[in-house]
Amino acid sequence: MDETKVTAEKPEKADFKEPFSYRKLFISTFLISAFTVGGGFVLIPLMKAKFVDEYGWLKENEALDLVSIAQSAPGVMAANSSIIMGYRMGGFLGSVTALLATILPPLITLTIISFFYDAFASNPYVRMFLKGMQCGVTAILIKVVLDLVVKQVKKKLALPLLVMAGTFIASVVFKINIMQIIAVDAIIGLFLMRDPQYD
């Protein structure tokens, strides 16, 4: 029984490119949060680059599943993602560590800005700085979408591509409420995407 457990754990440990530590989790999440401008969706490529590609603490499909859960749960997506990913990587303490690292940068930044709000609001350089960051965020989000589309095209599976296209059309063309779209997508996944080929 013990030998089976040891054998089952080996593949997960072998995936780790860096040994897990709460210090690394805090610093990485803190930096990601500090550079996340434009909403929780920007977290996806940054967390993937750090925790999946660089550290190997999560698998790509697993990270995307966790982000999907965080997105559908009530609350701020950035905090939700940190809590659920932190828990997956380091248990309860991992959740607390990741959550603190996520909320500290905006808390510090907004506290400083609140003292100098008038100067920031009327400063043309600050406005240009923010416009430049918005352009960068847009490019990052487009890259995430293209990566997901390319991944599904390589698998040669029609259903995920139809779900993507249908979701886009429903949201942009027909202006259907995003919560209703997510609910329909979830039902499609539950009943039509059980096959391992969709993992």
For the residues 134-144, what does the mean pLDDT come to?
79
Inside any domain, residue 1:
no
pLDDT band with cut points at 50, 70 and 90 for residue 10: very low
DSSP state for residue 155 in the 8-state scheme? H
- pLDDT (0 to 100) of residue 39: 63
Inside any domain, residue 29:
yes
Are both 174 and 190 inside the same structural domain?
yes
Structural domain range at position 95: 22-118
Sign of the alpha-carbon dihedral angle for 3, 4, 9, 11: positive
Query: Does residue 144 or residue 17 have the better pLDDT?
Result: 17
pLDDT at 3 over 50: no
Its pTM stands at: 0.64
Are both 42 and 59 inside the same structural domain?
yes
pLDDT at 173 over 90: yes
Distance (Å) of CA 133 to CA 73, 125, 174: 27, 12, 30
Are both 138 and 182 inside the same structural domain?
no
For the residues 152-179, what does the mean pLDDT come to?
89
> pLDDT digits over 29-47, tens only?
999 888 877 666 777 788 8
Are both 140 and 54 inside the same structural domain?
no
Inside any domain, residue 7:
no
pLDDT at 182 over 60: yes
Count of the separate structural domains present in the chain: 3
Q: Determine which helix (DSSP H) or strand (DSSP E) holds 67, and give its type and residue range.
A: helix 60-72
Are both 80 and 140 inside the same structural domain?
no
- pLDDT (0 to 100) of residue 172: 92
Are both 38 and 69 inside the same structural domain?
yes
Are both 128 and 147 inside the same structural domain?
yes
Mean pLDDT estimate for the chain: 82
Angle between helices 22-34 and 77-115 (to 10 degrees): 60
Inside any domain, residue 69:
yes
Are both 46 and 107 inside the same structural domain?
yes
Inside any domain, residue 6:
no
For the residues 123-151, what does the mean pLDDT come to?
80
Are both 40 and 87 inside the same structural domain?
yes
pLDDT at 85 over 70: yes
Backbone φ and ψ for 126, nearest 5 degrees, come out as -65, -40
- Between CA 146 and CA 152, with CA 147 as vertex, the angle to 5 degrees is 95
Final residue belonging to a domain, choices 118, 137, 170: 118
